[in-house]
Structures are given as C-alpha cells and as structure tokens.
Structure 1
C-alpha cells in the first residue's frame, strides 16, 4: 500500500504541474492564448514585468516538472521504489521552488 501511495503522489504532483505549465505555454505560444500579466500590480512576481520572461519561466518549470513526471513513470514501470521516492522529493522541492519564485518581487 505504501508503494502505491508514494507512486501515486509522485505521479500526481509532478503530472498536474507539468500539465498546467505546458498547457499555458503551448496555448500562448501556438494557439494565441491570452497572457495574464499583472503589469501595474506592485505585489505581482518579478516575471510579470515582461512577456519574454514570463514565457521563459513557464517553459523552465514545464520542462522541470515534465522530466520529474516522466522519470517517475519510468521508475514506476520498472518497480524501483527508492527512485520513485527520490522523484517525489524532487517534485516537492520543485513545488517549493515555484512558491519561492512567485514570492520574489
């Protein structure tokens, strides 16, 4: 049961973030999606000051969470529970990086 929960948590946490970052990046880049920048807001994160910077942050976090998701999927298929737990730790640290990045003004 414990192996299932860790595998599920690692896949779900990294998969949701990878999906959301890739969906927004691809939508803006190729499907004329609307960019939601907060230019006049002094409380907005630093990457809202420029369209290029915003797109770069989306791409970097999309790649990061995508790699973690694919790694977790691979190690789940191979049955390597130690590596799955390491991927879970990387997913949690990456989520913390997203929060810290959003807090930088």
Structure 2
C-alpha cells in the first residue's frame, strides 16, 4: 500500500481510538459498560492475533500494540468496525488502481 495512504489510515485509526477512549468517561464518571466492551475487544484480539496495523502495512516495535489498538476499535461494535474496514479496503483499492494506471503510462 502507498505510504501516504497508510498514514491517512493511521490518522483515522488514531481519531477513532481517541473517540473510543473518551466514551469510557461520562460526565466525570467511568462507564463500566464501555470499559467492559473495551476489555473484551482487547482480550479477543490478543487471543486471536487480530491486528489492524499489520493490515495497513505497519509493524509495531512492540508486537501486541496492534492487537490492543484493534481491540479498542472493535469494542465500538460491528457497524463501526465494518465501516472503518470498508474505508481501509476502498483506500487500498484506489491506491492500487492509481499505481496500476501510473505504471501503464
């Protein structure tokens, strides 16, 4: 994948992660339902090896960082995760198409 596209995706992931973390605190109190969802998401990713960073071409220096970040993202639910992965896939496809068109010229 193109490095610029990877950085754009990483920026979107960072924003999504921050929004997820902010959801834990509701008017100064901890929302244990959201915290529980985050813990389940992280546990599932650690146990399965799911890693969004490797999907977009990054290799974190600490091996489980991508899994923890992925767990935070999937804790938002299926709709959010589906939309995020669809956006990543579309950006990858557009980048590939642009690279193919550039190579043909």
TM-score, normalized by the shorter chain, greater than 0.5: no
Higher RCO (C-alpha 8 Å, min separation 6): 1
Give the TM-score normalised by structure 1: 0.36
Give the TM-score normalised by structure 2: 0.36
